[in-house]
Amino acid sequence: MAQQITLIGGGLVGALLAQQLAGRGFKVDVFEKRPDPRVAGFVGGRSINLALAERGLQALRKAGLADDVLQRAVMMRGRMVHTRDGRSGLLRYGVDDSEVIWSVSRGALNMLLLDAAEAAGVRFHFGQSLTGADFDGGRIQLTDEHDQTRDFDTPVVIGADGAGSALRAAMNAHTPLGERVEPLGHAYKELEIPPAGGLSAALVGQSGGHDQFALEPHALHIWPRGGYMCIALPNTEGSFTVTLFLPAHGPHPSFDTLPDAAAARGFFGDEFPDLLPLIPDFAADYDSHPVGTLSTLYLQRWHLGGRALLVGDAAHAIVPFHGQGMNCGFEDTVVLAALLAEAPDDTAEVFAEFQRIRQPNSDAIAAMALENYVEMRDSVADPHFLAKRELGLLLAERAPQHFMARYRMVTFTHLPYAYAFERGRAQDLLLEQLLRGSTEAAAVDLTAAVATLKATLPPLPDLR
């Protein structure tokens, strides 16, 4: 008889994991709090679009879904940095168009994954929230939108129910999981740049010949302003989703001091003068879109023996500044599905092994995502940072076996996050030594720098 597994949450990670488990012969039920988005329309809540990178793509390739997803995605070659005086320039992510990231719609991706999971035999139960669990009795409680509660027997339950996981709360009540949530202190709000057709012709001059878009579409746009920033990611139909990141509370500017559009318009006009005119519904967007909070979640225990396990954001929610939360969750699904397929009857061992493999990596990406916030909002406009970046590019060109920028390791390879974190730290130290505080990469003797690099750091692992 097929082994039964119950998932809580049919979001991005839950739907992909369900598809992979069903494809390996498991009998999978998924309980999802929201109604079926393919019937009711997608109920957003957070980030309308997301950056998909190599790790996520690799998981989608293994599930046979990468081509379908890429057909609905917009390629982004690098960061387009917009300065206060209205200038902009592209900082490429990789060496060429083989190293790009993709902007995908959360709703479209979720629906595609639900279709794929259903086609693989997964049974979805929409409009059903997990509201309790009896782990010793092998039973969970579910409540529907009419407040009707029912029990469901299941020997194994996996929580893919996101950062506010109800399964995690139930597990924690049974056996403390060693939970620590560290709020970032900064929050976000989403706004929209409509397709170029909806804007006056005078404003549409920056799209690099892509008439449908008001800005260059093949880039992740950043307006770095030191302690805060805006970013914008393109959508296939020509719009951009803009996200304002700002301190949640405290002195100006913060969401406390900019509570509504009337207060925020002047701030935008001063800080983002080229962006404001591209958001014609600024007042409506600002006043109706919620302020989202951001935190990092650390857990000592991800599972209760072989009975319950947490994956994706439920186990390791991170701040979004490396664009890796979903990518990391998708990597989880590949590792977990393979481990479960090898030992379907030994979930206790599989869950322990899953945590052993994944936790050092989720800790590393959590730290890198926090560091990346400073890089995006501040360092991309700093001459010393730009000199380090330039010297790194030169070293990577001269000694590709020995130097690869950390961002590239995280975004375009499958090297473990923990490796990228450690290697990145060592490389950064070396760049600091070579530059000695200078802002001139050209002033460094490259031949000597390459010799020092090779003498200091071992070659990178094989990337193929």
Residue numbers at the binding site for ligand FAD (CB under 6 A): 8-14, 31-34, 46-47, 50-51, 129-130, 160-162, 166, 188, 243, 292, 312-314, 320, 323-327, 329
Q: Is the CB of residue 423 less than 8 Å from the CB of residue 406?
A: yes
Q: Which of 1, 5, 268 is nearest to 123 (CA)?
A: 5
- Which residues pair with residue 5 across a beta bridge? 28
Nearest residue (CB) to ligand FAD, 326 versus 352: 326
Strand 229-234 versus strand 292-299 pairing type: unpaired
Nearest residue (CB) to ligand FAD, 291 versus 457: 291
Exposed e or buried b for every residue in 260-274, given b needs 16+ CB within 10 A?
Answer: ebeebeebbeebbeb
Burial class (CB in 10 A: 0-12, 13-18, 19+), 22: buried
- Residue 195 DSSP class: P
Nearest residue (CB) to ligand FAD, 295 versus 379: 295
Nearest residue (CB) to ligand FAD, 327 versus 359: 327
Nearest residue (CB) to ligand FAD, 206 versus 411: 411
How many angstroms separate the CA atoms of 345 and 354, rounded? 15
User: Nearest approach, Cβ of 204 to ligand FAD (angstroms)?
Assistant: 25
Query: What are 451's two structure tokens?
Result: 């010799």
User: Nearest approach, Cβ of 186 to ligand FAD (angstroms)?
Assistant: 11
User: Nearest approach, Cβ of 354 to ligand FAD (angstroms)?
Assistant: 15
User: Nearest approach, Cβ of 6 to ligand FAD (angstroms)?
Assistant: 11
**Left if phi > 0, otherwise alpha if psi is -120 to 50, otherwise beta: which for 296?**
beta
Exposed e or buried b for every residue in 324-333, given b needs 16+ CB within 10 A?
Answer: bbbbbbbbbb
User: Nearest approach, Cβ of 33 to ligand FAD (angstroms)?
Assistant: 4
Residue 162, number of CB atoms within 10 A of its CB: 22
Q: Is the CB of residue 293 less than 8 Å from the CB of residue 187?
A: yes
Nearest residue (CB) to ligand FAD, 326 versus 434: 326
At 134, the amino acid letter reads D
3-class secondary structure, 89: strand
Nearest residue (CB) to ligand FAD, 10 versus 424: 10
User: Nearest approach, Cβ of 243 to ligand FAD (angstroms)?
Assistant: 6
Burial class (CB in 10 A: 0-12, 13-18, 19+), 251: exposed
Nearest residue (CB) to ligand FAD, 224 versus 320: 320
Nearest residue (CB) to ligand FAD, 280 versus 292: 292
User: Nearest approach, Cβ of 251 to ligand FAD (angstroms)?
Assistant: 24
User: Nearest approach, Cβ of 142 to ligand FAD (angstroms)?
Assistant: 8
Q: Which of 213, 217, 214, 22 is nearest to 102 (CA)?
A: 217
Q: Is the CB of residue 102 less than 8 Å from the CB of residue 75?
A: yes
User: Nearest approach, Cβ of 175 to ligand FAD (angstroms)?
Assistant: 19
Q: What are phi and psi of 334, to 5 degrees?
A: -65, -45
